[in-house]
Amino acid sequence: MISAGITLLPGDIIATGTPAGVGIGFAPPRFLVPGDVVECAVTGLGTLRNRIGSGDPDAGR
């Protein structure tokens, strides 16, 4: 728990991630594709959901 080591204040941002190429370690390799959904939930706060897009600004028009 990060708050055990530092004091968090309103507006603080906690950036996390994984090393580049982590998907290549699966057999077979797995990567995010358009339509996948990534979710991050914080108890008592809510859930952030991001749908992976195609990268094409005209997609879906």
Give the pLDDT confidence of 8-51 residue by residue, as tens digits.
899 998 888 777 778 888 899 988 899 999 998 989 999 999 99
Global pTM value: 0.56
**Full residue range of the structural domain in which residue 38 is found:** 25-61
Could you tell me if residue 48 is inside a domain?
yes
Amino acid letter, 51:
R
Interval 47-60 mean pLDDT? 87
Sign, CA torsion 58/61/31/15: positive
Work out how many domains the chain is built from and give that number: 1
Could you tell me if residue 19 is inside a domain?
no
**Distance between CA 24 and CA 31 in Å, rounded?**
8
Residue 37 and residue 49 in contact, taking contact as beta carbons nearer than 8 Å: yes
Predicted local distance difference test score (pLDDT) of residue 35: 94
Predicted local distance difference test score (pLDDT) of residue 16: 80
Could you tell me if residue 16 is inside a domain?
no
Predicted local distance difference test score (pLDDT) of residue 61: 67
Smallest CA-to-CA distance from 12 within 50, 49, 38, 42 is with 42
